[in-house]
Amino acid sequence: MLQIMEGSHAVAEAVKLSRPQVVSAYPITPQTHIVERLAEIVADGELDADYICVESEFSALSSCLGASAAGSRVYSATTSQGLAFMAEVVFNVAGMRLPIVMTIANRSLGAPLSIWNDQQDSLFLRDSGWMQLYAEDAQEAMDLHFIAYKAAENHEVLLPAFVCFDGFILTHTFEPVDIPKQEEIDAYLPAFNPYQRLDAKDPISFGMYATPDYYQEFRYEINAAMTRAKKVLREAGAEFGEMFGRDYSGLVEEYRLDDADTAIVAMGSVCGTIKDAVDEMRDDGKKVGLLKLRSFRPFPYEDVRTALAGVSNVAVLEKNINIGSRMLGAVGLEVKDAVYKNGTPVYSYVGGLGGRDIRRKDVKMITEWAETGRNDCFFGLREEVL
Amino acid sequence: MGIFLRELRIHGRGGQGSVTAAELIATAAFKSKIYSQAFPAFGVERRGAPVQAFVRFDDKKVRLRSQIYEPDYIIVQDSTLIGDVNVFGGMKKGGIAIINTEKEIEGVPDGVKLVKIDATSIALEILGLPIENTTLMGAFAAATGEIEIHALEESLRERFPGSLGDKNVAAAKKAYEIVKGGL
Amino acid sequence: MALNVGCSARPGNARDNKTGSWRTFRPVFDNEKCNKCGTCMMICPEVCISEDEEGYPQVDYEFCKGCGLCTEECPKDAIEMKKEEK
């Protein structure tokens, strides 16, 4: 049923419908409304879960790790500095192959202190072994939680997942969302069936130490599981589409890309603004389209290569900065690799950092930059730094 | 694209309920079968500091995520903001400015319709408190036709149960009638 | 080591690792001096010292790696490290 609500509350509803048995999180702006609402949901008896209050993000994910190893479906949420504080546990969760789902309310990293949106926080954990899915709007943010649990818990995958949605821009925005019914989600997402679990009667240890003779093999396995996750995510997205009418079978989404000369590549909420800008540029006769990345990890390079096969220029709108690299953005680097054999020029245009607003005119500007071959650069930068 | 998109910018001060106003207007619009989107100018506002909140209305799902720079409508909750803040900035021709004041207002751009209402007095009279955001929602409904008054009433009652809901509805309706009568 | 998912393992692996072969010095206990305080049993990192029927320490030399911690900590100087003769 279509209802209007805040993005954070929509995500809390999605979590409730996913029936986690353990929730542990530490409040941090702009994630706070999600976990506050979940605390109410648990306290009101709407969700039969243990809500573990902790003193830090490190403890939050640590308790989630233990609960997941014990065989529970587990949920957490964080952002920015909180995610940075968790980082050690983030790698451990993936290494122990525990299918935890965690919402990232994307926010910039300090210093300088900023509570506002960009995507540097989730991207800095690119190599942690967690899947990373990015939502364009509140509806997609909701739906990706169900898909994330389904793919993460698949025994072919057994990897945790971030569901990333832009802080404030989506967390604090009221908009209509279609909330599935509990019985529909129960049919889509059955109870967690752990591959192995902690049991006092039949003891087991997770994440034992591995000598140089073995460590490499475990990293190989994580990478292999992440590669298998592409197919599993596509199937989980397709099945969701069949049941709920919203198709997520693609790890990428093409928008007016068929005959496009220039493609814009982006992730998250800015894709909505880009779609409006693409429509306006199309009205002006410009052949431009959008390639939205729904999954950054696993990176769907085959899909990106196919989608961009016919274009002459690629402008990657980056809400992150890949400091010290020749390529300015982390997303552009991957896109460039995907289309390398085609020889298509790919440019990283960095902007929207720390909550700087991105407008349709910015999208039009970077489209022109790509058309004229302007090299990687920031957009919307204050002139006094130049 | 964009022809049907209408945009509202609310100017207030921290503590006046600008964000609540945006959310309730968006909820009322949704109940009036219009796609809507409400969001604050994100920040760490303190009580009394100038704040903004935004609402978009469209006949289809709203995709645009940037802030609102060229509004069709503005609501100014506190006329002392005028001068400190460029409340009329970027307003479209044919736009409507709803201002909580009993004073003369200067600087209204050409082609913008001014709707003045003494919402603070109405709020004091009915609610007993100078919290005028719900009163201004009634004025907005009457001045723009974007939201139906019964949808606003429903939204107010959901947010404020019991007698508080009754009072807020009464305040919104009074402003609605005054603005309707004046149009 | 098995390549289990998540590098998981069943308990009891330490029993497979017979550290006794590492030893160059072996602890020799003098029960005349020993007061049966049990410090050596608690301190042993391999947990290979146990009590005999009379309460004196006895060592499982399959696991004693000759670290000498028991000798160092014995309050009665009842343990002497002697060169292993293999």
Looking at chain C, which residue has its C-alpha nearest residue A225? Answer: C5
Mean pLDDT of B84-101: 96
A119, A267 in Cβ contact below 8 A? yes
Q: Is A207 on the interface with C (CB under 8 A)?
A: yes
For residue A27, give both structure tokens: 């409040």
- The pLDDT value given to residue C12: 82
C7 contacts on A by Cβ (under 8 Å): 95-96, 206-210, 218
Contact A97 C9 (CB under 8 A): no
Which residue numbers of C have CB closer than 8 Å to A's CBs?
1, 3-11
Tell me, yes or no, whether A270 and A295 share the same domain: yes
Q: Is B1 on the interface with A (CB under 8 A)?
A: yes
Tell me, yes or no, whether A153 and A120 share the same domain: yes
Cα B81 to Cα A254: distance, rounded to the nearest angstrom: 44
A96 contacts on C by Cβ (under 8 Å): 6-8
Q: How far is CA B151 from the centre of its chain?
A: 15
Contact C8 A203 (CB under 8 A): no
Tens-of-pLDDT digits for all 386 residues of chain A?
A: 899 999 999 999 999 999 999 999 999 999 999 999 999 999 999 999 999 999 999 999 999 999 999 999 999 999 999 999 999 999 999 999 999 999 999 999 999 999 999 999 999 999 999 999 999 999 999 999 999 999 999 999 999 999 999 999 999 999 999 999 999 999 999 999 999 999 999 999 999 989 999 999 999 999 999 999 999 999 999 999 999 999 999 999 999 999 999 999 999 999 999 999 999 999 999 999 999 999 999 999 999 999 999 999 999 999 999 999 999 999 999 999 999 999 999 999 999 999 999 999 999 999 999 999 999 999 999 999 98
- pLDDT band, residue B43 (cuts 50/70/90): confident
Domain of A93, in residue numbers:
2-244
Single residue among A225, A244, A263 that ends a domain in this structure: A244
List the beta bridge partners of residue A288: A262
Cα B73 to Cα B71: distance, rounded to the nearest angstrom: 5
Tell me, yes or no, whether A30 and A174 share the same domain: yes
Q: Does residue B4 have a pLDDT over 90?
A: no
Q: Which of C5, C10, C16, C17 to mutate to test the interface with A (most CBs of A within 10 A)?
A: C5
Cα B182 to Cα A203: distance, rounded to the nearest angstrom: 78
Ramachandran area for residue C10 (φ above 0: left; ψ -120 to 50: alpha; else beta): beta
- The β-bridge relationship of strands B50-58 and B35-40 is antiparallel
Tell me, yes or no, whether A304 and A172 share the same domain: no
- The pLDDT value given to residue B42: 75
A90, A61 in Cβ contact below 8 A? yes
Q: Is A355 on the interface with B (CB under 8 A)?
A: yes
Q: Does residue B2 have a pLDDT over 50?
A: no
- Angle, helices A80-95/A215-244, rounded to nearest 10 degrees: 110
- The pLDDT value given to residue B133: 95
- pLDDT band, residue B142 (cuts 50/70/90): very high
Neighbours of B89 (CB within 10 A): 13
Residue-wise burial string across A33-64, b where 16 or more C-beta atoms lie within 10 A, e elsewhere: bbbebbbebbeeeebebebbebeebbbbbbbb
Q: Is B38 on the interface with A (CB under 8 A)?
A: yes
Cα A218 to Cα A223: distance, rounded to the nearest angstrom: 9
Tell me, yes or no, whether A259 and A238 share the same domain: no
**Which tens digit of pLDDT belongs to each residue from A136-149?**
999 999 999 999 99
Cα A92 to Cα B49: distance, rounded to the nearest angstrom: 44
* CATH number of the domain within which A36 lies: 3.40.50.970
Q: How many angstroms separate the CA of residue B108 from the nearest CA in chain A?
A: 26
The tokens 């980082």 sit on which residue? A87
Neighbours of B160 (CB within 10 A): 17
Q: Is B154 on the interface with A (CB under 8 A)?
A: no
Query: Hey, what domains does chain B have and what are their CATH numbers?
Result: 6-182 (3.40.920.10)
Domain count, chain A: 2
Cα A331 to Cα A337: distance, rounded to the nearest angstrom: 10
A90, A119 in Cβ contact below 8 A? no
Q: Which of A115, A137, A173 to mutate to test the interface with B (most CBs of B within 10 A)?
A: A173
The tokens 């029993």 sit on which residue? C15
CA angle A319, A324, A329 (to 5 degrees): 25
- The pLDDT value given to residue C1: 66
**Strand order of the sheet with strand A313-318?**
A252-255, A288-293, A262-266, A313-318, A346-350, A377-378
Query: What's the alpha-carbon Rg for chain C, to the nearest Å?
Result: 15
Cα A378 to Cα A58: distance, rounded to the nearest angstrom: 33
Tell me, yes or no, whether A156 and A40 share the same domain: yes
What SS3 state is found at A169?
coil
- pLDDT band, residue C86 (cuts 50/70/90): low
Neighbours of chain B (3+ CB pairs under 8 A): A
B42 contacts on A by Cβ (under 8 Å): 30, 115-117, 168-169, 172, 355
Cα A2 to Cα A234: distance, rounded to the nearest angstrom: 25
What SS3 state is found at B36?
strand
Q: How many angstroms separate the CA of residue C75 from the nearest CA in chain A?
A: 36
Cis peptide bond upstream of A30, omega within 30 = yes
Q: Is A309 on the interface with C (CB under 8 A)?
A: no
Tell me, yes or no, whether A226 and A327 share the same domain: no
Q: Is A361 on the interface with B (CB under 8 A)?
A: no
Tell me, yes or no, whether A26 and A162 share the same domain: yes
- Which of A136, A379, A373 is CA-nearest to residue A261? A373
> Nearest CB to A97: which of C3, C6, C11?
C6
Query: Hey, what domains does chain C have and what are their CATH numbers?
Result: 18-83 (3.30.70.20)
> Nearest CB to B2: which of A116, A176, A276?
A276
Neighbours of chain C (3+ CB pairs under 8 A): A
CA angle B174, B176, B177 (to 5 degrees): 65
Tell me, yes or no, whether A223 and A115 share the same domain: yes
Tell me, yes or no, whether A60 and A131 share the same domain: yes
Tell me, yes or no, whether A196 and A153 share the same domain: yes
Cβ contacts from A onto B, under 8 A = 71
Tell me, yes or no, whether A179 and A236 share the same domain: yes
Cα A207 to Cα B98: distance, rounded to the nearest angstrom: 62
Residue A89 is inside which H or E element, if any? Answer: helix A80-95
Q: Does residue B3 have a pLDDT over 60?
A: no
Q: How far is CA B41 from the centre of its chain?
A: 15
A130, A86 in Cβ contact below 8 A? no
A18, A47 in Cβ contact below 8 A? no
- The pLDDT value given to residue B1: 37
Contact C7 A195 (CB under 8 A): no
- The pLDDT value given to residue A214: 94
What SS3 state is found at B10?
strand
> Which ipTM was obtained for this model?
0.94
- pLDDT band, residue C16 (cuts 50/70/90): confident
- The pLDDT value given to residue B44: 67
Q: Does residue B183 have a pLDDT over 80?
A: no
For residue A165, give both structure tokens: 């949605």
**Which tens digit of pLDDT belongs to each residue from C40-59?**
999 999 999 999 999 999 99
Q: How far is CA B88 from the centre of its chain?
A: 14
